[in-house]
Amino acid sequence: MNKTLYFTITNDPADDAGDAIMINADTFLGAIPATATTTELFFNKVNGTADFSKFTVTHANGDCEAFIKAFGDLVSTSPKDGFIIVHDKVSGEGINLITSVAFTTL
């Protein structure tokens, strides 16, 4: 079964304009702590033109290791429908260490 990861990616997800993204979990390449308050998650291409896609996850100061562990634990789950909420600002579901998520293709 394919697992898909769901992220809200704006600070105002109620306006429905490019507010969320789903990505196949099997396209995950790796994670790196970028700063004391951000961790970058890298995935294979999303739009077919970029070399890779990047999520920049903001969390509390010094929580990089805790976030990466929580992300790994979450992705290793096996929900019946394959749908995994990493961050949903509206419902509050997902990894509670996350304060915001930005998405870019590179």
pTM of the model: 0.88
Report which DSSP code applies to 97.
T
* pLDDT tens track for 1-54: 799 999 998 666 565 667 888 999 999 999 999 999 999 999 987 666 667 889
The residues, any chain, with a CB within 8 Å of residue 87's CB and separated by 6 or more, are 6, 7, 8, 57, 94, 95, 98, 101
Q: What's the confidence (pLDDT) of residue 12?
A: 60
Neighbours of 23 (CB within 10 A): 20
Indicate the burial class of 67 (C-beta count within 10 angstroms; 0-12, 13-18, 19 or more).
Answer: buried
Length of the chain: 106
